[in-house]
Amino acid sequence: MGKILITGGAGFIGSHVVRLFVNKYEQHHIYNLDKLTYAGNLENLKDIQEKHNYTFIRGDITNKDFIDELFETYKFDSVIHLAAESHVDRSISNPLEFVYTNVIGTVNLLNAAKTIWGCSKDKVTENKIFYHVSTDEVYGTLGDTGLFTEETAYDPHSPYSASKASSDHFVRAYHDTYNLPCVISNCSNNYGPNHFPEKLIPLCIYNIKNNKPLPIYGKGENVRDWLFVEDHARAIDAILHSGKIGSTYNIGGHNEWTNIDVIRLLCKIMDKKLCRVDGTNEQLITFVKDRAGHDLRYAIDSSKLQHELGWKPSLQFEEGLEKTVDWYLANEEWLKHVTSGEYQKFYEQQYVNR
């Protein structure tokens, strides 16, 4: 693997991937490239920031000249690309930001890797890999039955999922046109520590703690397939090392829950943790206007990954959710900083953004 570039490593999933790789692969060097948007927070990586095999670089993947120069300077061997605008609701109010980062940013990285690795159709590039981290949302929505497989046709509904679908198409196009050694994974909903409190689970943990309403879109009947974030990081490790170039792998938890049931379970766990009378937190549940274009159900068939690479989820949801709640209750400072935006003011003084 040699020099590994991880983009978006200061975000939720990226920080767990960076930590796993820095600790596991001491002989390789991990470069974390992140713009530090509102979702990027170096506090997520405090425990590994001094490691000899880790370097943080602040920069924007939409800046083509900067990206070209970066690849020219470091000559990365592997790229794990996670940097993205990731929140569906934000994509509904500001779609263009998602096109810039998720589509143009991805193409800038593909171009830089192609150039530095000298890829072309008549040549096989050995020992290099461009790993694109994508989402199950590109497949659209399911009815009451069925699962997304790697063969499911793309049918994105939100500006976020349309931008991720577009980036996936570019990755495949670079593989087919220039022989760029690529692999893609499409994962279901992650949960766990360091999740930004705009997403359903961390938002509700924060609101329960502060006795605020828990906003449930529509009737709370939408279904998501939840996976503990460290299991996603392990899957990325397995695919990077043993995945077939040119392939796609679905990653999921086999763990479908309606939103209302997730929040009821969370309320129950937090009644206990906060020593509140059973049923107290459920009274905070508030049904609000539905999300526009809200996909009804996501559910992943990850049998290809399980059979080919031997990966499987390690945690039951109840156990993972309790672990997540414990982390948030033990990390009040982190929550305070991200909800006040304090960390961003610090980064503006500390790092030049390119």
- Of 203 and 245, which CB lies nearer to ligand DAU in the complex structure? 203
13 binds, among ligand DAU, ligand NAD, none (CB under 5 to 8 A by kind): ligand NAD
Residues that bind ligand DAU (CB under 6 A): 86-88, 135-137, 188-189, 199-200, 203, 215-217, 222, 224, 259, 291, 298
- Work out which of 30, 40, 181, 231 binds ligand NAD, going by CB under 6 A: 40
Active-site residue flag, 160: yes
Write down the catalytic residue from 137, 150, 231, 237.
137
Residue with structure tokens 């596991």? 24
- 114, 164, 234, 297: residue in contact with ligand NAD (rule CB under 6 A): 164
All residues at 6 or more sequence positions from 241 whose CB lies less than 8 Å from its CB, including other chains:
none
- Taking the complex as a whole, how short is the minimal distance between the CB of residue 150 and ligand DAU, in angstroms? 16
The item of ligand DAU, ligand NAD, none sharing an interface with residue 110, based on CB under 5 to 8 Å by kind, is: none
128-147 footprint of ligand NAD as x/- string (CB under 6 A): -----x-x------------
Among candidate residues 68, 82, 69, the one with its CA nearest the CA of residue 30: 82
Helix spans in 40-158 (H): 64-74, 88-93, 95-98, 106-117
Q: Which long-range contacts (CB under 8 A, 24 or more apart) does 274-277 make?
A: 274/208, 274/209
**Cα dihedral: 51, 86, 306, 245 (round 10):** -80
Of 54, 131, 160, 174, which one is the catalytic site residue? 160
Identify whether 137 is a catalytic site residue. yes
Residues 6+ apart with CB under 8 A from 282: 264, 267, 268
Give the distance, in angstroms, between the CA of residue 322 and the centroid of all CA atoms in the same chain.
21
Backbone φ and ψ of 258, nearest 5°: -75, 155
Residues forming contacts to ligand NAD in the complex (CB under 6 A) are 7-8, 10-14, 34-37, 39-40, 60-62, 82-86, 101, 105, 133, 135, 164, 187, 189-190, 196
Report the catalytic residues.
136-137, 160
